[in-house]
Structure 1
């Protein structure tokens, strides 16, 4: 099957799935060859029970490479901040740091951006350049500014864009700072996860403009949010639902855990809720609102599993474990992390546990607030 046929097949698949909803974006998907942005190959994930996740390269000379480029899946293109598929033979055990997002999510976000012809767009996170090319096809090069923190990633994207004749304003820099030189923008779209929406994005978006970004936290539950910028320099909107997940913007990634505190110290008491409640996506998102700087890990100690929340910068922690069918929690530091989480989850449940697509987001120069409707 030719790449043109594969593009049309992908567009039909995304239309049937509801991600691709309008003709202009359908034309863009049918026109832009995704494989041109994957000429350097991608990594396949290898999961072996009891072993760390490994990654192995898939290069253009692989018989399935072209067809894989047009599957609706995310394809990892960089490991450990520097390693590309052509750099290794065999397997690598480090963590992914850049990828080509699954096309279904790319076009869903472009549709949710509600962009119109003639509008100026800032894209945070160029990545491979595929989504940038879709924007250029729809709007024209002069109306698209894309910023990428990794110079090598940006250069590879630039090569792919140039090969197809696209020439957006391509910037290497911290996307959290936006790009003031091309402002104001009608639309801002972020293809990285963020914990706190940067004020610079609001300042660089015209009143009435839209910002589309994935908001989450260090417990790794996140949701797509669409906010409208107001005349007073604030932004307001809602979560859109769908359990959307991106790699966090590098400046907002959690700090290293370092040396753990003495988990045998602290105050211990029975927990109203067990650590298993945060296994559910929605519940974990709500828990993050109460402990936005906490990371979650599990440890095997004294013949039992302890579930730990740790705020490295604040110095607070909570360790939960199950004993004879009941949950106990031990907490230390200036904050009582699990007490805060329990209180937040209890209020959310009393209000009927509304789904995340009903949550509202308000961002002012002073703070970011995410709330749910009360009963």
Structure 2
């Protein structure tokens, strides 16, 4: 028995116990894929008690590398867009840009994709290639296409898949554009978050097919959604889970805010809903559908703290502060963001603040919206 096999068996048992693996076909597929093969170039481990977070490399020849490969946790594989574990001696304080997602989430998403034999699947975000390999073990190489934005990441995945004798259609490019030449697909699955669901995904999924993706926004809340594409080219479907977090697709990262507008100008009124709602994940997720381009920051203005929302695309903004137990909002620009947020959150509150699992998302080529009840 190989050194990794007991670790893989333990991982499969663990993700089955928590309900991520639910069916025998996916269990067999997961059992056929050694995760460590996709982490041979190492990973980064967060250094405890550092702020901002520092990252230290863990390489293949170090103690604990193999067991960590089979832990149910996400492992960062790239920092700052180009830096790999072998490039660092010591620690680095930059943002992660690629990772191997925790297996329980990967396998749960594959279960949630609702695939059947002979279906064709497009994966957006090859990453290390681990999820690609599980898809191939389930469906066969000829039914899987995967596209990766980063050329270096794509090459590492290609190398790992080749070592296992797995040869799906691997592409390098902007996954938001999909892959028209392989369309239509029965399923599209994204291993990165999107700010808005691309119209190309709707076009490249055949009617009745599913798109499984995490929708996230610039207020830093995201959820997993399974959309069914309709004959008219729109799509709708349920929110599947609470607080699933993926890195945003790089083209969907927020733009620089630039120069702040004059926050002393604008129209002021008492707010119906205070900025304290932005501390709640679900409230932020709902608010993002109302103000999808808004970014949140906290500023000290004179003697008071203000929560500020900036839409760098339109120049609209809102500043909120608390005074004598009341929230005051001051807004400017063509599309006052807090008006829209209050409307969305007000309707959510009127519905009894249901959990996101009772929500549905509707997507067209031009917009996306959230609803409670049937999509």
Question: Is the TM-score greater than 0.5?
Answer: yes
Match of 1:31 in 2: 32
Secondary structure of 1:335's counterpart equals coil
Instruction: Return closer, same or farther for 1:303/1:42 CA change in 2, 3 Å cut-off.
Output: farther
Contact 1:186–1:206 at 8 Å: present in 2 too?
A: yes
Q: Report the Cα distance in structure 2 between the residues aligned to 1:91 and 1:263, rounded to whole angstroms.
A: 39
State the Cα deviation string for residues 80-106 of structure 1 (Å, max 9, x = none).
111111111111111111110110100
Match of 2:229 in 1: 229
Q: Which moved more, 1:272-281 or 1:258-267?
A: 258-267
Secondary structure of 1:287's counterpart equals helix
Match of 1:257 in 2: 257
Secondary structure of 2:108's counterpart equals helix
Match of 1:20 in 2: 21
Instruction: Return closer, same or farther for 1:52/1:366 CA change in 2, 3 Å cut-off.
Output: closer
Equivalent residue runs for 1:178-327 within 5 Å: 178-327=178-327
Q: Report the Cα distance in structure 2 between the residues aligned to 1:121 and 1:162, rounded to whole angstroms.
A: 19
State the Cα deviation string for residues 285-327 of structure 1 (Å, max 9, x = none).
1111111110111223434432111100110111122234332
Match of 2:7 in 1: 6
Match of 1:152 in 2: 152
Contact 1:293–1:311 at 8 Å: present in 2 too?
A: yes
Q: Report the Cα distance in structure 1 between the residues aligned to 2:194 and 2:110, rounded to whole angstroms.
A: 18
Q: Report the Cα distance in structure 2 between the residues aligned to 1:7 and 1:224, rounded to whole angstroms.
A: 26
Say if 2:26 is the partner of 1:40: no
- Runs in 1 of length 4+ with deviation above 4 angstroms? none
Equivalenced residue count is 373
Match of 2:110 in 1: 110
Q: Report the Cα distance in structure 1 between the residues aligned to 2:78 and 2:44, rounded to whole angstroms.
A: 8
Q: Report the Cα distance in structure 2 between the residues aligned to 1:290 and 1:69, rounded to whole angstroms.
A: 40
Contact 1:351–1:373 at 8 Å: present in 2 too?
A: no
Per-residue deviation, 1:271: 2.0
State the Cα deviation string for residues 219-247 of structure 1 (Å, max 9, x = none).
12111111112222222211112211111
Contact 2:286–2:370 at 8 Å: present in 1 too?
A: no
Instruction: Return closer, same or farther for 1:273/1:364 CA change in 2, 3 Å cut-off.
Output: closer
Contact 2:278–2:284 at 8 Å: present in 1 too?
A: yes
Equivalent residue runs for 1:122-141 within 5 Å: 122-141=122-141
Q: Report the Cα distance in structure 2 between the residues aligned to 1:351 and 1:203, rounded to whole angstroms.
A: 33
Q: Report the Cα distance in structure 2 between the residues aligned to 1:233 and 1:92, rounded to whole angstroms.
A: 45
Q: Which runs of 5+ in 2 are unaligned?
A: none
| TM-score in terms of structure 1 length | 0.95
Secondary structure of 2:104's counterpart equals helix
Contact 1:354–1:373 at 8 Å: present in 2 too?
A: no
Contact 1:306–1:319 at 8 Å: present in 2 too?
A: yes
Match of 1:328 in 2: 328
Q: Report the Cα distance in structure 1 between the residues aligned to 2:224 and 2:61, rounded to whole angstroms.
A: 36
Q: Report the Cα distance in structure 1 between the residues aligned to 2:169 and 2:44, rounded to whole angstroms.
A: 28
